[in-house]
Structure 1
């Protein structure tokens, strides 16, 4: 069960905005845009490359999600959590389908990516 305020959950579950995933590499931050899906205190992303390698080395991550309208911030949510790489192909395929559907992509988009689930530990949010 999620510990996020209901309003923050509603924002995360709303429209398809980009999240910025923060990982750590060699003691320095690495931030990259990702598509995500949020449900019940868990964030799902499918990723590859540097982001995936970083998560494998250090599962402590952050996410920053923000909705803008013509350059004006409407809301923001920042999450801190622990990532787990899911190696199960069926789970990855199902998560990829959910995420791609949210963002209007075809079912085979990002077919080579790996599922990462992030258990949210804490969150801050603000609406403007």
Structure 2
């Protein structure tokens, strides 16, 4: 059972908005946008490059997800957790089938990406 508030879970699964992933290596922050899928206390996304390198070195991560309309924030969810890099090809394909179509991309887009799962340690939300 997840410690994520049920209203935050509803917001996280309501529509395809962008999450901003924060990683940190050598005391320096790095923030980048990612498409995501949330279910049962786990956030999944597909990535490569600097984000992946950072998470391999330091699995602690944070996500900020926010929905705006006309420049006004409607809601936000903040998540902290621990990332696991999954390099299993079948798991990557399954995650791509969950994530990519939600954002209007084909399931096989960006096939070089690797799956990352973040187990949510804490979550908070706000609606406006």
Cα deviations by residue, 1:63-104 (Å, 9 ceiling, x for unpaired): 000000000000000000000000111001100111012112
Q: CA RMSD in A?
A: 0.6
Q: Who is 1:127 aligned against?
A: 127
Normalised by the length of structure 1, the TM-score is: 0.98
Q: Runs of 5+ in structure 2 lacking a partner?
A: none
User: Higher mean Cα deviation, 7-16 or 102-111?
Assistant: 102-111
Deviation (angstroms), 1:42:
0.3
Unaligned stretches of 5+ in structure 1? none
Match of 1:57 in 2: 57
Q: 1:16: how far off?
A: 0.4
Query: Which is further off, 66-75 or 104-113?
Result: 104-113
Structure 2: distance between partners of 1:64 and 1:109: 24
CA distance in 2, matches of 1:9, 1:96: 20
- Provide the TM-score with structure 2 as the length reference: 0.98
Aligned residue number for residue 15 of structure 1: 15
Say yes or no: does 1:2 pair with 2:20: no
1:25 Cα deviation from its structure 2 partner:
2.2
Question: Aligned partners of 2:38 and 2:112: how far apart in 1?
Answer: 21
User: After superposition, what is the alpha-carbon deviation per residue over 1:43-82, rounded to whole angstroms, capped at 9, x for unaligned?
Assistant: 0000000000000000000000000000000000000000
**Aligned partners of 2:13 and 2:124: how far apart in 1?**
15
Q: Which residue in the other structure is 1:69 paired with?
A: 69
> What is the rounded CA distance, in whole Å, between the counterparts of 1:110 and 1:12 in structure 2?
23
Any conservation in 1 of the 2:45–2:115 contact (CA below 8 Å)?
A: yes
